[in-house]
């Protein structure tokens, strides 16, 4: 399974992150996970939200440049080396372009992975008994 990630391109200036979050809040789009990477002039805000299509639509209407992408949300047991073992499964098949954590109330942690070939990565993870989650499943955690 894969999830939809919303990427928003924002100017690196005071208050811009709050503006994005206000648009989502005012449109009842729940924030499930985020990662913000910045440079001196702009940032890329990567979000997992409850309603990705709705989030993209309302942010676009508010003047933000954004896009949706498929990502894998991988469940990781809470034990030393678990993430490294998972990445070993896929490292000879696909490249991990970036990753960030996703917090839940459950016993397992999760990590969001953007990979070069999502189908191959998903198949390899499944063959190794590693669970991935959809956006709907994440929203229910």
**Model pLDDT for residues 57-90, shown as the tens digit of each residue:** 999 999 999 999 999 999 888 889 999 999 998 9
Is the pLDDT confidence value at 140 over 90?
A: no
Work out the pLDDT band at 106, boundaries 50, 70, 90.
Answer: low
pLDDT the model gives residue 48: 94
Reading the block at residue 11, the tokens are: 């100017």
Q: What is the mean pLDDT of the chain?
A: 90
- 25-60: per-residue pLDDT in tens? 999 999 988 999 887 888 999 999 999 999 999 999
Query: Which pLDDT value is given to residue 139?
Result: 77
pLDDT by residue (tens digit) across 85-100?
999 989 889 999 999 9
Alpha helices by DSSP H, listed for the chain, are: 16-26, 52-61, 82-90, 118-127, 135-139
| pLDDT for res 102 | 81
Q: Do residues 111 and 83 touch, judged by C-beta distance below 8 A? A: yes
pTM for the model stands at: 0.83
37: which strand partners?
Answer: 44
Question: Residue 70 and residue 137: Cα distance in Å, rounded?
Answer: 15
pLDDT, one tens digit per residue, over 111-124 is 899 999 999 999 99
List domains and CATH numbers for the chain.
Answer: 3-69 (3.30.2130.10), 71-139 (3.30.2130.10)
């Amino acid at each position: 399974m894969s999830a939809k990630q919303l990427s928003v391109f924002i100017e690196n200036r005071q208050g811009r992150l709050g503006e994005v979050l206000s648009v989502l809040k005012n449109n009842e789009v729940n924030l499930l996970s985020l990662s913000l990477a910045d440079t001196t002039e702009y940032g890329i805000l990567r979000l997992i939200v409850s309603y990705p299509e709705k989030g993209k639509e309302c942010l676009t209407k508010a003047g933000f440049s954004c896009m949706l992408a498929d990502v894998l949300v991988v469940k990781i047991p809470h034990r030393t080396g678990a993430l490294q073992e998972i990445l070993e499964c896929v490292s000879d098949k696909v490249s991990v372009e970036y990753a960030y954590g996703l917090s839940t109330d459950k016993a397992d942690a999760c990590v969001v992975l953007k990979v070069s070939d999502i189908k191959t990565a998903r198949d390899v993870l499944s063959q190794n008994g590693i669970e991935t989650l959809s956006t709907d499943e994440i929203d229910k955690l």
